[in-house]
Amino acid sequence: MDEVLDIFGERYGRPSASGCERSRVLDAVKCHFRWLTAGPVSIDLHVMSDHADGGGGGASSKIRVVAADVNLETDWLHARAAGPAAKVRTAI
């Protein structure tokens, strides 16, 4: 997981929010990191590392990255609050 954080840290700096929790049922650690970029995009990194022996003798990690255009989300929320006549701009 440290290698992944190093890559994102070099690109986006320190995360604006982070947190980890241990799952006793899955014998895994789940972590979430969020970066707010200089533009309107937020980046969320989710990492789940387990310590189970998957046949290879080591730990494994699952990584999910979500990038969201914060402006589009805000426009959608304003349009929803304004009612069905409001228009939402979309990016293609």
Residue that wins the pLDDT comparison between 87 and 23? 23
**Any idea what the CATH number is for the domain that residue 66 is in?**
3.30.160
Whether 39 maps to a domain, the answer reads yes
pLDDT band at 45 (very low <50, low <70, confident <90, very high): very high
DSSP symbol at 55: S
Establish if 6 belongs to a structural domain.
Answer: yes
Please check the confidence at residue 90 and state whether its pLDDT lies above 60: no
**Whole domain around residue 45: which residue ranges?**
2-82
Number of domain units in the chain:
1
Asked, for residue 87, whether it belongs to a domain, the answer is no
Q: Is 29 domain-assigned?
A: yes
Residue 54 inside a domain? The answer is yes
Specify the 3-state DSSP secondary structure of 7: helix
Judge whether 24 lies within some domain.
yes
Spatial separation of the C-alpha atoms in residues 63 and 50, rounded to whole Å: 12
For the chain, give the percent of residues with pLDDT over 90.
30
Beta strands in 1-92 (DSSP E): 17-23, 28-36, 41-50, 60-69
- Note whether 63 and 55 are within 8 A (CB): no
Residue 8 lies in a domain: yes
18 CB-side CA count, 13 A: 11
